Structure 1
Amino acid sequence: MQKAIALRYDYSSAPTVTAKGSGKIAEKIMAVAKENDVLLHQSPELVEMLSSLELGEEIPEALYLAVAEIIAFAHNLKKHQW
């Protein structure tokens, strides 16, 4: 079953979980992300680790590097968009 996690990062603290779900909810999360030009990144392993977090909870320190790489990639993409 499809799962999705949405993170928010405001550059002042660790990224937090803003939405999560599976099935139809995951599809809606991804649709809203696409509508708002938010990068979608597929990593089933990372989604599994993040899905145990509660809404509003910061990601654990053990996942900082993995999430930071995704954020840096997304930021770099935005800088190079025409």
Structure 2
Amino acid sequence: MKRKIKGKETAVALRYDMNEFIAPKIVGKGQGEVAKRIIEKAKENDIPVYQDEKLAGQLSAMEIDSFIPEELYEAVAQILAFIAGVDADEIQ
């Protein structure tokens, strides 16, 4: 997930394993060059990148290794549905 803040790109990396976690977890975040590297690594590893400026801003304020708060479940669920759709399209 990425956004731009006053000219600086921001990226937040999420991880979710329903067998391991109670909710998606923030596993990385950064601005500027760090954000670019996060996005680059995601693309290199065929991990979908979803752009939502508002959500990226909310998540970037949180600590790495923290679970997303309940009030963001719906927004993140939409991202997971997007990713599931991308994965399904690639399989076909």
On whether the aligned pair clears a TM of 0.5, the verdict is: yes
The Cα RMSD (Å) is 0.9
**TM-superposition CA deviations, 1:39-65 (whole Å, max 9, x none):** 101111001100111110000000000
| Alignment partner, residue 3 of structure 1 | 10
| Alignment partner, residue 71 of structure 1 | 80
Query: Aligned residue pairs: how many?
Result: 82
Which runs of 4 or more aligned residues in structure 1 lie more than 2 Å from their structure 2 counterparts after TM superposition?
A: none
Give the TM-score taking structure 2 as reference length.
0.85
Give the TM-score taking structure 1 as reference length.
0.95
Structure 2 alignment gaps of length 5 or more: 1-7
| Alignment partner, residue 47 of structure 1 | 56
Kindly state the Cα deviation for residue 80 of structure 1 after the two structures are TM-superposed. 2.1
Equivalent-residue separation in structure 2 for 1:76 and 1:15 (angstroms) = 18
Kindly state the Cα deviation for residue 72 of structure 1 after the two structures are TM-superposed. 1.0
